[in-house]
C-alpha cells in the first residue's frame, strides 16, 4: 500500500510542476546600443617649413571610428596641392602628404582618400589612433621669390 501511495504522490507531483508551453506567458527583451562615433582632428598648424627641404613632419591626425567595416579618410587641399602666396607671385610649391597607408605613387594632396577596411585596424580605431603625416615631394615651380607660402588641408572621415 505504501508503494501505491508513493507512486500516486510522485505522479501528482509531476503533473503539478509547471511545464514550459510552446507559447510563453511573458517575454522580456534585453538589448542595448553603442552610438556611432567617427571623428577626426588635425594637430596644430605647421609653420615655418623649410621650403628648401623636400620633406617635413606635419604631426598627426587623431581619428576615432567604431564602425566594424572600417572607415575612409579623405584629405583635400584648398589650393590644389600647392603652397602659394596671397599676392600675384607666380612661384608656387607642389607637395604630397604621405601617411603609413598612402601609396607612394598617390597624386598630390589636391584630393586623396584612404580606406581603412582592415578588421584589425578598424578595431584599433574604436579607441582612437594617431596617424603621422609627412609632407613629401616639396618642389618649387618658378623663381626663388621671397614670400609667405601656404595652403589649407581639410580632412574628413566617413564610416564604410
pLDDT in tens, 61-99: 899 999 988 888 888 889 988 999 999 899 999 888 887
In a 3-state reduction of DSSP, which class is residue 15? helix
**What predicted TM-score, i.e. pTM, was given to this entire model?**
0.71
CB contact at 8 A, 74 and 156: yes
Q: Domains of the chain: which residue ranges?
A: 38-159
The band of 31, judged by pLDDT with boundaries at 50, 70 and 90, is very high
CB environment 77-116: b (16+ within 10 A), e (fewer): beeebbbbeeeeeebbbbbbbbbeebeeeeebbeebebeb
Among 98, 104, 93, CA closest to 49: 93
pLDDT at position 4 is 47
Which pLDDT score is estimated for 47?
Answer: 76
Chain-centroid distance, C-alpha 82: 26
pLDDT mean across residues, the chain? 82
DSSP secondary structure letter of residue 141: E
Tell me what pLDDT residue 117 has.
80
- Residue, of 46 and 78, whose pLDDT is higher: 78
Tell me the CATH number of domain 38-159, given options 1.20.58, 2.40.160, 2.60.40, 3.30.70. Answer: 2.60.40
Kindly report the number of other CB atoms within 10 A of residue 58's CB atom: 22
d(CA 45, CA 60): 11
pLDDT higher than 90, residue 27:
yes
Taking a C-beta distance cutoff of 8 angstroms, is the pair 79, 130 a contact? no
pLDDT tens digits for range 135-147: 888 889 999 899 9
Task: Please answer whether residues 34 and 66 qualify as being in contact, where contact means their C-beta atoms are separated by less than 8 angstroms.
Answer: yes
The confidence band for 5, taking pLDDT boundaries of 50, 70 and 90, is: very low
Q: Does residue 125 register a pLDDT over 60?
A: yes
Amino acid at each position: 500500500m505504501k508503494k501505491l501511495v508513493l507512486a500516486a504522490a510522485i505522479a501528482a507531483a509531476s503533473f503539478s510542476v509547471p511545464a514550459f508551453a510552446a507559447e510563453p506567458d511573458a517575454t522580456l527583451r534585453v538589448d542595448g546600443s553603442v552610438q556611432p562615433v567617427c571623428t577626426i582632428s588635425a594637430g596644430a598648424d605647421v609653420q615655418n617649413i623649410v621650403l628648401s627641404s623636400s620633406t617635413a613632419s606635419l604631426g598627426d591626425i587623431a581619428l576615432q571610428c567604431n564602425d566594424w567595416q572600417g572607415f575612409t579618410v579623405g584629405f583635400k587641399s584648398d589650393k590644389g596641392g600647392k603652397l602659394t602666396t596671397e599676392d600675384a607671385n607666380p612661384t608656387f610649391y607642389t607637395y604630397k602628404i604621405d601617411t603609413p597607408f598612402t601609396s607612394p605613387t598617390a597624386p598630390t594632396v589636391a584630393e586623396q582618400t584612404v580606406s581603412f577596411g582592415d578588421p584589425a585596424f578598424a578595431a584599433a580605431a574604436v579607441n582612437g589612433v594617431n596617424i603621422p603625416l609627412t609632407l613629401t615631394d616639396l618642389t618649387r615651380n618658378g623663381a626663388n621669390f621671397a614670400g609667405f607660402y601656404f595652403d589649407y588641408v581639410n580632412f574628413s572621415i566617413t564610416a564604410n
